Amino acid sequence: MPLQNRVSPFGEILAHPARGTLMGNRGCLHDAQRQLGNRRWAHQAWVICRLSFKHWHRTIMKPGVYTELFFTDEAVALAAGHRPCGLCRHDDYIAFQRAFGRARPELGERPSPPAMNRLLQADRVNSRSRTQITHLAEFDTLPAAAFFTLPGQTEALVQRRGEIFAWSFDGYSRRDPGPAGMVNVLTPRVTVDVLRAGYRVCDT
């Protein structure tokens, strides 16, 4: 039985057998039976980590420690509201931090983690309903790696290398050329601005 620790671009934490290429952390969300309750985060530092680092080994969903979450790739993790970890992905974290500073210059060249976390939290999730916050944007203005849905549809789409792909846990499927007009953007608004400011999503 798969554990409930796979994350979709909609920010949902689901049970699915697919393996991830990156891991994430929102704090401890599971109980002693490795089951999730209603809580979907325990702190605002939602990070994206490497699967392996310094030969460290962990027991997945060990009682009392953080819940290991898994993503198809970094674009999915960003859409779900996460950012690079400053420890195991230090170079990516610095690149993200500098792009964040370009996107929000009032925070300085390298905004502090709490400042980034606070803005990400405000843009990614409704604290009361625990639902993902989305926003409308013109498709032509979206940077690569930003996830979106078309009006009246629920398929998670992303632009990669000039083409449009539909996401699923089983992989990506190519779709027709990009739409015109407004789309519903899943990736948090501030993260979209960070992508526009030059952050390059890692290839996994």
Query: Exposure of 184 by Cβ count < 10 A (0-12 exposed, 13-18 middle, 19+ buried)?
Result: middle
Closest CA to 172 of 72, 49, 69: 72
Q: What is the mean pLDDT of residues 1-9?
A: 94
Q: How far apart are CA 150 and CA 185, in angstroms?
A: 9
CA-to-CA dists, residue 84 to 46, 89, 102, 128, 138, angstroms: 9, 6, 17, 25, 27
Residue 30: in which H helix or E strand, if any? Answer: none
pLDDT tens for 180-202 read 799 999 999 999 999 999 999 98
Edge to edge, the sheet with strand 83-84 lists: 13-15, 4-7, 69-71, 22-25, 47-49, 83-84
- Residue-wise pLDDT tens digits, 45-67: 999 999 877 777 778 888 889 99
Q: What is the pTM of this model?
A: 0.95
How does strand 69-71 pair with strand 22-25?
A: antiparallel
Write down the pLDDT at residue 20.
93
| Distance of alpha carbon 102 from alpha carbon 85, whole angstroms | 19
Extract the runs of DSSP E, i.e. beta strands, from the chain: 4-7, 13-15, 22-25, 47-49, 69-71, 83-84, 135-138, 147-149, 157-160, 163-168, 171-174, 182-185
Q: What's the pLDDT tens digit per position in 32-46?
A: 999 999 999 999 999
69 Cβ contact partners less than 8 Å away, ≥ 6 residues apart: 5, 6, 7, 13, 23, 24, 25, 26
Contact 150, 157 (CB under 8 A): yes
Percent of the chain with pLDDT over 90: 84
CA distances from 82 to 13, 22, 48, 181, 191 (A): 13, 11, 6, 27, 9
- 101-135 as b/e: b if 16+ CB within 10 A: bebbeebeeebeeebbbebbbebbbeeeeeebbbe
Percent of the chain exceeding pLDDT 70 equals: 99
